[in-house]
Amino acid sequence: MKALELKDVGVAGRLQPLDLSVEAGQLVGLVGPNGSGKSTLLSAAAGLLPASGQVCWQERKLDELAVMERGRMAAWVPQEAHFSFGFTVRSVVAQGRFAHGDDGNGVEEALQRLDLMELADRPVDRLSGGERHRVMLARALAVRPRLHFWDEPLAALDVRHALEVLVLARELADQGAAVLLSLHDLRVAHCLDQVVMLDRGQLRAKGPPAEVLSAGHLEHVFGVKLRTAPGMILELP
């Protein structure tokens, strides 16, 4: 089943109309230089930014889905995790269950999965940047949605937590969710199922990583040369 379909979706001055189709079970990376439109595309796909064209989730038009239904179907992780109030970490993660009637299901599991048990009773506005990001990811996990939209989920994380979040994303996809995430680390993008490359608000390429992350595209879009060489590889034990 198509988990997400964008037809001619664009945002004036920020994103040229484009098509994108994501199957259930796929892990898809959005890459591109700063300002190329990754967050704009994610926000439009998540229904958080008015856009032209048509967005469908699970083969249903987004316009026709009620707000609470959207809240059960999809989870959003913003690029910047700011909190103005000192709610506890646990209560912020529990907000992921709002559209499910605040049933609290999966909250403890999400806290554990994002390594937040020791921080669970701390006010969220007194955490480090990476810790706050893990709270947002845990909140998304607690939703148990079919669609995940994560804007640069790895950027603030240390290497172990970043690897754990990648493993988590793969597991969510293997369980049938679709995960759309933006990222800057092209070596990580190489491990995903599909890569979408944006360039100055336009779709440059989409498809398997080995095709999209070609020397030609990297030079044209990022102005860098691709050289394959042995290097340091970090893995979870």
- Note the residues at the interface with ligand ATP (CB under 6 A): 14, 32, 34-40
* Residue with Cβ nearer ligand ATP (116 or 198): 198
- DSSP characters for 64-116? GS-HHHHHHHEEEE-SS---SS--BHHHHHHGGGGGGTS--TTHHHHHHHTT-
CB of 79 to ligand ATP, least distance (A): 6
* Residue with Cβ nearer ligand ATP (47 or 96): 47
* Residue with Cβ nearer ligand ATP (4 or 221): 221
> What is the Cα–Cα distance from 44 to 7, expressed in whole angstroms?
12
Within 13 A of 148's CA, how many CA atoms are on the CB side? Answer: 35
Beta bridge partners of 20: 6
* Residue with Cβ nearer ligand ATP (39 or 146): 39
* Residue with Cβ nearer ligand ATP (38 or 146): 38
* Residue with Cβ nearer ligand ATP (40 or 194): 40
> Please, which contacts does 182-186 make with residues 24 or more away whose CB atoms are closer than 8 Å?
182/29, 182/30, 182/31, 182/38, 182/39, 182/42, 182/79, 182/150, 182/151, 182/152, 183/29, 183/30, 183/31, 183/152, 183/153, 183/154, 183/155, 184/31, 184/152, 184/155, 185/154, 186/31, 186/213, 186/218
CB of 185 to ligand ATP, least distance (A): 12
CB of 133 to ligand ATP, least distance (A): 14
CB of 34 to ligand ATP, least distance (A): 3
CB of 199 to ligand ATP, least distance (A): 10
Report the residue count for the chain: 237
* Residue with Cβ nearer ligand ATP (120 or 186): 186
CB of 43 to ligand ATP, least distance (A): 8
* Segments of the chain assigned E as strands: 2-11, 15-23, 27-31, 52-57, 60-61, 74-77, 147-150, 178-182, 194-199, 202-207
CB of 160 to ligand ATP, least distance (A): 24
